[in-house]
Structure 1
Amino acid sequence: MGIMGFLRNRMGLILVIVIGFALFAFIAGEVIHYGSSFFHGDSNEIGEVAGEKIAYDDFNKRVEENTANFKQQSRQDEINPQITSYIQENTWNQVVSEKILEKEMDKLGLVVGDDEIKSLIQGDNPSPQIIQAFGNPQTGQVDRTKLMNFLSNLSAAKADDPIRARWDAFVQQIVDNKRNEKYLSLVSNSLYVNSLEAKDDYEAKNQLANFKYVKLDYASIPDSKVTPTDDDYQSYYNDHKQSFDNSQETRSLAYVSFNAAPSKDDSSAIKTQVEKLVPEFKASTNDSLFVEVNADTKTPMVYQHKGQLDPKLDSVMFSAAPGFVYGPYLSTGSYKIAKLVDSRVGPDSVTARHILLPVNGGVDKALKTADSLKSLIQGGKSFADLAKMYSVDKGSADKGGDLGTFGRGAMVPVFEDAAFNGKKGDIKVVTSQFGVHIIQIMDQKGSSKVVKVAIVDKALSASTATQSAAYSKAQAFLGTVNNDNFTEQAQKSGLKVLLAPDVTATAASFGAVTNGREVVRWAYKASGGDVSDQVFTIGDQYIVAQLTTIKSKGILPLEAVKTQIKPFVITEVKAKILTDKLQNALNGSSNIDQVAQKAGSQVVPIQNIVLANPVIPGGAAEYKLIGTVFGSQPGKLSKPVEGQAGVFVFVVDNFIKPAPLTNAVRQKQEIGQALLQRSGQQILDALKDKANVKDYRVKFL
């Protein structure tokens, strides 16, 4: 009673102390794990290159720009997590490469002076970007009149005119490209191929070898008969240590998944729900509104030709009358009903050009500008010139707004309707998610029947009962596992343990999980062996995970790669056994036939092998074997050679030398070109290693 009374009287103080320690431990753990700004770095720092910080805000802005460009080029409004991860990774590589090269160019004092910039824009040998923007398609040369008119208009423009900012960015891009060109020229000019290298390359491609071999296959010894020792593993590891250099930290997971996919009852309920909409859909007089109100996917209604519809619709809609409703039918994970809204005969393709105006200043302002530009065009002003000056779609602006010829389905619906429903010569102004378009229809070709179909869909989704049942199973499993019994408990529960090896910190997916960022973020906070402290909800899956392995950046220890190298170590052990067998066969043998007889193998003749293509006919590349052949004397039995597929003993019959190399110029050029193609990436990789790149993206992405 004394102890209980003491605890009751002091409980408030005890709770304060306990909670205080818990909070301190949590905060300290986060600080230590992330290296936050309490001790070093900035909380807004996403990385570092050669001591220069990369701010998250700056990086994210680049990601947003690249994402917008991708959406515009791919004409996709939404992108999946995998594409997002791809864009983020590409952006990171761009930023790192730019900073590395910029530092190197600054060290070397590489600059582009004012006179050079003027020459790149107005000189006799202008930048390729100037030629592209102001070139004459017929001559391939800069249209000087067009260029000078633009520069004249630019100088007269107000200081806050957006065209000035776009021009400055354009010129800066030219300057950056020129600096890079200078740097690469320094690199390429340092590459040299001498006559001896040219001769060796020529002979490697043209000297022929004829030889015979005896081979004992690794496959002749079952893997189950080989038990590598610790020394075998250590020996292989020591010989190949550099190949275990981990360029970035990775983490491996084991996980179980509880499926919450829709049940048969769920499917039946969704189908019934869609069936009830059929009478209303048939009676609807505003099909666009009906789709907007009732469909899960607000698919725009556009005219489509045969072959563009779902196959189930393609077979019925082109012979039906407007108002016909088909369905419900199951397609792409949804129950759907479709209504034929209209059918007509229209062009198969359209040739058009456009000017795309941004709407960041408001749609009304952009529409007013579009009307002004439309009036100028109708008054005789060059559409192409205005496109180059005003269009933010740089891909087409550089070609005077030309979009080429396109069929149905290539453009967003509002753009497509304007292009296909107008007539040749029309100039139309429409607004899409990309901005305000001024469209000029240059030509229309072909003629075929097209239909406009309204589709109402209801996604086949799991009911609350189905989801709850799956989640309860996942929670029950989580309650039974710990760091030591994850696999054992999964097996007891009849669950399959799935593996996700070597997951990077920025991965968006792993294994069969397509949107697993939440799990990856947890894994990079956890310690080896930890089981997740929650059930992760990913789509229709509930996941419980365990962090099994952490592979740090740098040379991995033997234990981290032991499973990975086991097949190769087994092969090496087999090679030792077979080498001893062939060496015994060599003892007392004077020719290759005797070796084959003693080894229980056969002699295989090989003709016209070149060093540059070391492939055994009917087999794989045997680099070590062929390299040894070209370094051997004819008529002499070789020692055993451990190859890719087995252990060999050979004898060279003869070499056929090519005609002497009288002019090494072409050979030097070929080798030099190959060196040049590899040099860019190799130099960048070397500079990255030297720059000590630090990557903190896992904190933000």
Structure 2
Amino acid sequence: MAILNSIRKRGIFLILIIALALFAFILSDILTKGSGPGKDQDTVAIVNGTEISRQDFMQQVEATQRNLGPNATTAQAMNMVWERELRSTLLAEQYEELGLTVEKEQLNSAMRQSLANNPQFQNELGEYDEALVQSYVSSIKGNPQLYGQWQDYIKNIKEAALQNMYINLVRGGLASTLAEGKQQYHFENDKINIQYVQVPYTKIADEDVSVSEEEIKQYISEHKSEYEVDKQIDIQYVFIAEEPSSEDIQAANDNVAALINDRVELNDTIVGFKNTTDDEGFVNLNSDQSYTDRWYFEKDLPQPIADTIPSMSKGDIYGPYQVGNSLNLSKVIAVEQLPDSVKSRHILIRYQGLQTASQDVTRSKEAAKKLADSLSTVINRDKSKFEALAAQFSEDNSNKDDGGDLGYVGPGRMVPAFNDFIFDNNEGTVGVVETNFGFHVAQVLEQKNRQRAVKIATVIKQIEPSESTINNVFSKATTFEVAAKKGDFEKVAEEQNLTARPVNKIGELDANIPGVGSNRSIITWGFEEETSVGDVKRFNTPGGYVIAQLTRKSPKGLMSVSEASSKVTPILRKKKKAEKIRQSISGSTLQDVASSQSVTLQTATAVTMANPIIPGAGSEPKVVGAAFGEKAGETTGLIDGEKGVYKVRVLAVNKAPELDNYASYVNQLNAANNAVNSKVYQALKKKADIEDNRAKFY
């Protein structure tokens, strides 16, 4: 009570303290995150000043991930939505700048094309009817979900129409002229014969030409667009798996083995796997995977039971045996001689109410059964009528014109009732089978390779690490983390018999780490402002722990010298070799150059501009271009090519005859513009000012 009274007396004081604390917290948050456009926590990106809303973006990502299916990752969905939104935003700017709009008639025309084959919007003549569209829209206005979907559809139609207009405008501006067609014709068909001398760069050893870091740095600064990189990090990590110990495996083995025989628990007898009469129920009760009802031939059985199960008798049990990280018990519950494949045919009769039936099916289930029985009776009297009746009555359009032929299938490939009919009956048998597809008038045509088959019931129990093992693994991971923070990461890993794995050039939005799989938390940590090179952190992952160390952190900008060295060094080395070769050449004629460099004169015929390959030298566009600039009998100066330094003498120039029409070459050039759609987008993206904040949210 004394404490409560004290609080009451100081109520106003406490309120002020709490208010100040809240204010400090908010102020700190503002100072940390900033209030500028690039720091807006409700904006996933800003593209040329246009904001992309975080909430809308995330909703689209969630919807896209659902549409992609259960195996899709958030990163995949996010990247798809990003490209779509970025493209839409960039193109919308172009539409606005050019004043492009979709008029009502254009929208109607686009809708007419889109909905022409939809029966819901066709009149009695099978033609698109705009009145039916208007009626549909009026009927759904009271349904927010359906009306919202319709609005999205109209938005997409308009977007597609605008994009078509814009791309056609761009494509129109890129249309090739007859003059360009004529030029292309001569590029492809004008030919020259040349004599040349090549002094290869390989004449000078790489080690004789040094390239300094300063030279590489200068080259990078002069070619910035080629060596720009986004933010990147390098890490190294160890993975400590949370795996069952040998003691855990033995304990699991004992537990599974205990399922074989009857046992007494609390004075009740629990029937074991050996004596149970309900094998399916036993498996479903005791296994981590449900019972599978199918027949196995020897070739279908997995190791290690393939060599044992086929020779066992009904009721025999094999196991426990280990498969991967599970312990299994397999019991033979049936043995038969079965064909390994059966050829059959059918006539499918559907009825109203089936999920697999179309809206055109109006017959009742009783009527469908009556029709199937009638067809079966007719066919049993005369089996030669099967094909004609299938063509007339079957509603399986995939094979009705082939007499209902289903080809050869193995056990378990058809739905259970149909599978049992064709495998359990003799060749030639005709009968009616009911499945979730409807009624089948089925006939067994041929059964091949009859052999021993077994049906098995398998109890599968995953081997889980015990609590003791889990604690030991956690202790090991924690011990390593502490030691790695104080000492050398790789050395500590080696001392603890662990492998340090490096992963380089990780992007800010990457999701996959080799050896770990998808793990955004590790990547996000590496890019956080508070994380410095050398920092170590432990992460919980499926199946164990990752202890990671940040080994490099590069901001967005130009490549470092070490990163660019592998690309720039050969370029600079080639340039220096060319200078040395030029300095060592004496004489002005081809023969003089060849003699001074101890190389031979070579000739090449029928060289073209369109395919600038010199036999014996390879692709040399610069050399071929220089040669085409000379007349017959003239000689070029020294040319620094791809493979060496060249000097060329033109022996003959063979101009292609003029054509009456160059339209085919114009069409050839225009065909190259088919990729304008993607190229325009890439050009707009390259030019755009994009502030990408996705890494803050994913």
Query: Does the alignment reach a TM-score above 0.5?
Result: yes
Matched-pair contact (CA < 8 Å) for 1:131–1:142: no
Aligned mate of 2:86, from 96, 100, 117: 96
- Relative to structure 1, is the Cα distance of residues 669 and 375 closer, same or farther in structure 2, using a 3 angstrom cutoff? closer
Is it true that 1:130 corresponds to 2:105 in the alignment? no
1:512 is paired with a residue whose SS is: coil
Is it true that 1:514 corresponds to 2:517 in the alignment? yes
Question: What's 1:251 paired with?
Answer: 233
Aligned partner letter, 2:513: F
Aligned mate of 2:185, from 202, 205, 210: 202
Name which of structure 1's ranges 257-266 and 50-59 shifts more when overlaid on structure 2: 257-266
Question: What's 1:234 paired with?
Answer: 217
Question: What's 2:549 paired with?
Answer: 546
- Relative to structure 1, is the Cα distance of residues 491 and 204 closer, same or farther in structure 2, using a 3 angstrom cutoff? farther
Taking the TM superposition and a 5 Å limit, the aligned residue runs for 1:205-224 are 205-215=188-198, 218=201, 223=206
- Relative to structure 1, is the Cα distance of residues 335 and 674 closer, same or farther in structure 2, using a 3 angstrom cutoff? farther
Aligned partner letter, 1:562: V
How far 1:404 sits from its partner (Å)?
6.0
Question: What's 2:590 paired with?
Answer: 591
- Relative to structure 1, is the Cα distance of residues 619 and 494 closer, same or farther in structure 2, using a 3 angstrom cutoff? farther
Aligned mate of 2:670, from 658, 669, 672: 672
CA distance in 1, matches of 2:345, 2:396: 15
Aligned partner letter, 2:546: I
CA distance in 1, matches of 2:577, 2:673: 39
Question: What's 2:60 paired with?
Answer: 62
CA distance in 1, matches of 2:85, 2:176: 33
CA distance in 1, matches of 2:180, 2:349: 54
- Relative to structure 1, is the Cα distance of residues 93 and 576 closer, same or farther in structure 2, using a 3 angstrom cutoff? closer
2:59 is paired with a residue whose SS is: helix
CA distance in 2, matches of 1:170, 1:619: 57
Aligned partner letter, 1:515: S
Aligned partner letter, 1:579: A
Is it true that 1:611 corresponds to 2:609 in the alignment? yes
Aligned mate of 2:691, from 688, 694, 697: 694
CA distance in 2, matches of 1:640, 1:297: 76
Residue by residue over 1:515-569, the C-alpha shift from the partner in whole angstroms, topping out at 9 and shown as x without a partner, is 221101101214574344521233445333333444434x41xxx4312322344
- Relative to structure 1, is the Cα distance of residues 488 and 170 closer, same or farther in structure 2, using a 3 angstrom cutoff? same
Name which of structure 1's ranges 283-292 and 691-700 shifts more when overlaid on structure 2: 283-292
Taking the TM superposition and a 5 Å limit, the aligned residue runs for 1:360-379 are 377-378=362-363
1:48 is paired with a residue whose SS is: strand
CA distance in 1, matches of 2:660, 2:668: 16
Matched-pair contact (CA < 8 Å) for 1:204–1:610: yes
CA distance in 1, matches of 2:687, 2:347: 51
Matched-pair contact (CA < 8 Å) for 1:212–1:650: yes
CA distance in 2, matches of 1:441, 1:618: 72
Is it true that 1:682 corresponds to 2:682 in the alignment? no
- Relative to structure 1, is the Cα distance of residues 491 and 54 closer, same or farther in structure 2, using a 3 angstrom cutoff? same
Question: What's 1:561 paired with?
Answer: 560
Question: What's 1:436 paired with?
Answer: none
Aligned-residue Cα RMSD (Å) equals 5.3
- Relative to structure 1, is the Cα distance of residues 534 and 568 closer, same or farther in structure 2, using a 3 angstrom cutoff? closer
Aligned mate of 1:475, from 466, 475, 478: 478
Taking the TM superposition and a 5 Å limit, the aligned residue runs for 1:200-599 are 200-215=183-198, 218=201, 223=206, 226-246=209-229, 248-258=230-240, 274=256, 276-277=258-259, 280-281=272-273, 283=275, 286=278, 289-296=281-288, 310=302, 331=323, 334-337=326-329, 377-378=362-363, 439=437, 456-459=459-462, 471-481=474-484, 486=489, 497-526=500-529, 529-540=532-543, 542-553=545-556, 555-556=557-558, 560-588=559-587, 590-592=589-591, 594-599=592-597
Matched-pair contact (CA < 8 Å) for 1:232–1:569: no
Matched-pair contact (CA < 8 Å) for 2:354–2:438: no
Aligned partner letter, 2:126: T
Question: What's 2:386 paired with?
Answer: none
How far 1:67 sits from its partner (Å)?
2.2
CA distance in 1, matches of 2:349, 2:226: 53
Taking the TM superposition and a 5 Å limit, the aligned residue runs for 1:169-188 are 169-188=152-171
Matched-pair contact (CA < 8 Å) for 2:201–2:578: no
CA distance in 2, matches of 1:587, 1:25: 78
CA distance in 2, matches of 1:528, 1:459: 39
Residue by residue over 1:327-386, the C-alpha shift from the partner in whole angstroms, topping out at 9 and shown as x without a partner, is 55555654545566778777789999999xxxxxxxxxxx99969998973269xxxxxx
CA distance in 2, matches of 1:426, 1:164: 43
Aligned partner letter, 2:71: I
Aligned partner letter, 2:82: W
Aligned positions, number: 614
Question: What's 1:145 paired with?
Answer: 126
- Relative to structure 1, is the Cα distance of residues 485 and 199 closer, same or farther in structure 2, using a 3 angstrom cutoff? farther
Aligned partner letter, 2:658: P
- Relative to structure 1, is the Cα distance of residues 264 and 646 closer, same or farther in structure 2, using a 3 angstrom cutoff? farther
Matched-pair contact (CA < 8 Å) for 1:214–1:596: yes
1:534 is paired with a residue whose SS is: strand
- Relative to structure 1, is the Cα distance of residues 541 and 622 closer, same or farther in structure 2, using a 3 angstrom cutoff? farther
Aligned partner letter, 2:57: F
Aligned partner letter, 2:679: Q
CA distance in 2, matches of 1:619, 1:459: 63
- Relative to structure 1, is the Cα distance of residues 133 and 487 closer, same or farther in structure 2, using a 3 angstrom cutoff? same
Aligned partner letter, 1:377: T
Aligned mate of 2:172, from 189, 195, 205: 189
Matched-pair contact (CA < 8 Å) for 1:227–1:570: no
TM-score (norm 2): 0.69
How far 1:48 sits from its partner (Å)?
2.9
How far 1:587 sits from its partner (Å)?
0.9
Matched-pair contact (CA < 8 Å) for 1:253–1:546: yes
1:613 is paired with a residue whose SS is: coil
CA distance in 2, matches of 1:206, 1:278: 84
1:93 is paired with a residue whose SS is: helix
- Relative to structure 1, is the Cα distance of residues 635 and 681 closer, same or farther in structure 2, using a 3 angstrom cutoff? same
Name which of structure 1's ranges 662-671 and 607-616 shifts more when overlaid on structure 2: 607-616
1:587 is paired with a residue whose SS is: coil
Aligned partner letter, 1:525: E
- Relative to structure 1, is the Cα distance of residues 95 and 648 closer, same or farther in structure 2, using a 3 angstrom cutoff? same
CA distance in 1, matches of 2:135, 2:435: 26
- Relative to structure 1, is the Cα distance of residues 584 and 44 closer, same or farther in structure 2, using a 3 angstrom cutoff? closer
Residue by residue over 1:383-416, the C-alpha shift from the partner in whole angstroms, topping out at 9 and shown as x without a partner, is xxxxxxxxxxxxxxxxxx99968999x9xx9996
Residue by residue over 1:43-75, the C-alpha shift from the partner in whole angstroms, topping out at 9 and shown as x without a partner, is 34322334343333322322232222222xxxx
- Relative to structure 1, is the Cα distance of residues 313 and 612 closer, same or farther in structure 2, using a 3 angstrom cutoff? farther
CA distance in 1, matches of 2:396, 2:86: 35
How far 1:502 sits from its partner (Å)?
2.5
Aligned partner letter, 2:118: A
Aligned partner letter, 2:693: Y
CA distance in 2, matches of 1:37, 1:172: 33
